[in-house]
Amino acid sequence: MENKGYPVNSIRICIDETDSEQGLMSGKIYGVAIEQPIVFRNSSELLLAIDDALNQIGKPQASSVIRSFKAEKNNRAVTYRGDPPRYHGYEEIRAMQGEQLTRDICFTSRQHSTWQGFVQIEEEPYRIDFASDLELLKYLLKYTEEETQN
């Protein structure tokens, strides 16, 4: 991630617990443009939590809107925000750590009802690109399992 700041279209995933046999993980999502941490208790909730986070941020904008046939009280309009509000500073987000794994993820687009972007690896001077939510989830499960084995 950037040294001088944390991009608003990025999140920090902090994974606290995993069950690699069942492919489950739990933890929290943080971001400079996310007012309150978003908690997830399993892999499915993680996918929904990331979508919720990106909808809160409003950047990148989804290329399609998923229909829902039930009325929701907390239905958030998915609107693009060129300059989303920043609720937290760079250092505050950097201080958040998961018990098993912490990764910074930058989302570059939301095409074909999925996400594209990259995972920044702090321990290494490189990044891993992903072209779908499934690729991202597989990456997180793989590296969480490797971290728990070390």
From residue 22, how far is each of 25, 95, 141, 145 by CA, in Å?
9, 29, 10, 11
**Residue range 101-149, pLDDT digits in tens:** 999 999 999 888 889 999 988 776 788 999 999 999 988 888 777 766 7
**Residue range 41-76, pLDDT digits in tens:** 998 899 999 998 998 898 887 666 655 555 555 545
What whole-number distance in Å separates Cα of residue 124 and Cα of residue 62? 30
Q: What is the pTM of this model?
A: 0.81
> Mapped to the 3 state alphabet, what secondary structure does 10-77 carry?
EEEEEEEEEECCCCEEEEEEECCCCCCCEEECCHHHHHHHHHHHHHHHCCCCECCCCCCCCCCCCCCC
Q: Domain-by-domain residue ranges, the chain?
A: 10-64+78-149
